[in-house]
A = this chain, B = another copy of it.
Amino acid sequence: MTGRDTWGAFAARMHEQSDLGGVLGLLGWDEQVICPPGGREARALQGATLAAIAHQRLVDPAYGEAIDAADALADLTVEQRAMLREARRQRDKATKLPEAFVRRLAEQRSRTNQAWEHARTTGAFADYRPALEELMRLKVEEADLLRGDGTRYDALLDEFEPGMRLERLQPLLADLRARLVPFAQRILDRPAPDVSVLERGFDPAAQEAFSLRVLRDLGFDFERGRQDRSTHPFTGGTAPTDIRLTTRIWEHWLPACLYASVHECGHGLYEQGHAESLWRSTVSAAPSLGLHESQSRLYENVIGRSLAFWEHYLPVAREHFPGQLDDVDALGMQRAVCRVARTPIRVESDEVTYNLHILLRFELEVDLIEQRVAVADLPEIWNARMAEYLGYAPKDDVEGVMQDVHWSEGYIGYFPTYTLGNLYSAGLLEAMRRDLDVDGLVRAGAFGAILAWLREQVHRHGAVTPGEELMREATGRDLGSDAFMAYLEERYGALYGL
């Protein structure tokens, strides 16, 4: 075979995996947005069949040989080397888990998720506990199958943050907690701002139109994407040319639709921005979930909750909601969408306390998987720590330990990526400000320059460069909480007169 044939043989298999991934993406999107209720069962079977085929083709020894042969070629580009590296990583992970184990895990996830849903109706943690215990036993087993020289938690974390290690993450997040708890406390001691302006009944169709207007301004390409509605907003799609955002509309809470749309738009802009040379490859992807999340949070929070954003969009919002926002100014809007509160529910919390919700979960899941804490003890520890970090005592386990779906789905190592996203987003703002007048651009609605900066620094690279390294290059900083704390202090210091 010529070098070209050798690369072609590898690329054909890589493209196949990419295409199957795109199709699985469509199945998932359709299930949440389109599929009639009666079709769900057939859909689950179709998805399982396709996932099994994709897995078989991934672990096929011939794919491994094609990777090895291509890896032996001289003169590969940096992108090609990265494609091979990612292909090998995916295969290695997949081959470490026996098919029978994968099936057992999938079944237990499904059972645990059902138990979780049921327990949320009864309110009894005891209805959830046995299934979660069994799932955690399997997650320990999975970690032991996957782990190299790191800890069990490292093995699971690596799925979401390749290359990240607990020994680095733990001190980083402990430092963040040490700074954030007193900072949040100072704000929570101040009088709470009035948010009633956001609770007026806003016409759903007008909310949707407003969100679409904002997405268009931010640069989302509707020739290569769309926005629909779903119960839980998410970004799906099948390829960088077919990115599908979803949002939800709550008539009496204006931020629900707007910020879901802007958040998902951040994800969507990122995926639409991968260089065309990466499409259909293993690196037309995020190098880490934290990096992906940095894009959504940059748009939702850093930009979307800024004073400049409301200086630009309040007049636009008034056109969409005639007469409903005449008695508020831009600062009033910002104050309302930046309210900090002792909310028990993570997804309803704010930029300041959000990470405390995450830190609590991170600490608990590390102890769970390292078997230092038993599932049975979760509610008590959860509630005690909520009181310690946020000064709030959950009134039951539904607004306590049973509020999130993640653990019931077997996601361990996922939560910290949210906080990494926040840390990265603040680092990006700091770096962007060295090149651009960010506030001025937002105030003028000139989002093109911001997108161009992100495209160049982040989006186009896909997973060619590992996440932390790419962020170091883009921000000029090592990962840490300085930029994020500075960002919070600037915004919330002003808003709360600290």
Q: Which residues in A have some Cβ–Cβ distance to B below 8 Å?
A: 15-16, 19-20, 22-23, 26-27, 30, 34-39, 41-43, 45-46, 49-50, 53, 57, 221-226, 237-242, 279-280
Contacts and interface: CB of A to CB of B under 8 A. Distances in A.
Q: Select the residue from A15, A43, A46, A224 with max chain B CB neighbours within 10 A.
A: A46
A39 B241 contact: yes
B46 A22 contact: yes
A38 B221 contact: yes
A412 B239 CA distance: 34
Contacts of A50: 19-20, 23
A157 to B, nearest CB: 31
A241 B222 CA distance: 31
Contacts of A242: 35-36, 38-39, 42-43
Contacts of A237: 39
Contact of A224 (B36, B221, B241): B36
A279 B242 CA distance: 31
B224 A39 contact: yes
A19 B19 CA distance: 17
A222 B222 CA distance: 29
A27 B50 CA distance: 13
Contact of A225 (B27, B36, B222): B36
Q: Oligomeric state, in number of copies? A: 2
19 contacts: A15-B45, A19-B49, A20-B49, A22-B42, A23-B23, A26-B26, A36-B223, A36-B226, A36-B242, A37-B223, A38-B221, A38-B225, A38-B242, A39-B237, A42-B242, A42-B279, A43-B242, A46-B238, A53-B57
Given A20-B49, A41-B241, A53-B53, 13 more contacts: A16-B49, A20-B50, A22-B42, A26-B26, A36-B226, A38-B221, A42-B238, A42-B242, A42-B279, A42-B280, A45-B280, A46-B239, A53-B57
A15 B49 CA distance: 9
Contacts of A16: 49, 53
Closest 3 CB pairs of A and B: A39-B242, A38-B224, A42-B239
Contacts of A22: 42, 46
Q: Select the residue from A34, A39, A221, A279 with max chain B CB neighbours within 10 A.
A: A39
A45 B19 contact: yes
A222 B20 contact: no
Contacts of A27: 23, 26
A244 to B, nearest CB: 8
A66 to B, nearest CB: 16
B46 A19 contact: yes
Contacts of A23: 23, 27, 46, 49-50
Contacts of A35: 242
A46 B26 CA distance: 11
Nearest to A280: B45
Contacts of A26: 26-27, 30, 46
Contacts of A37: 223
A68 B226 CA distance: 48
A80 B222 CA distance: 48
A30 B27 CA distance: 10
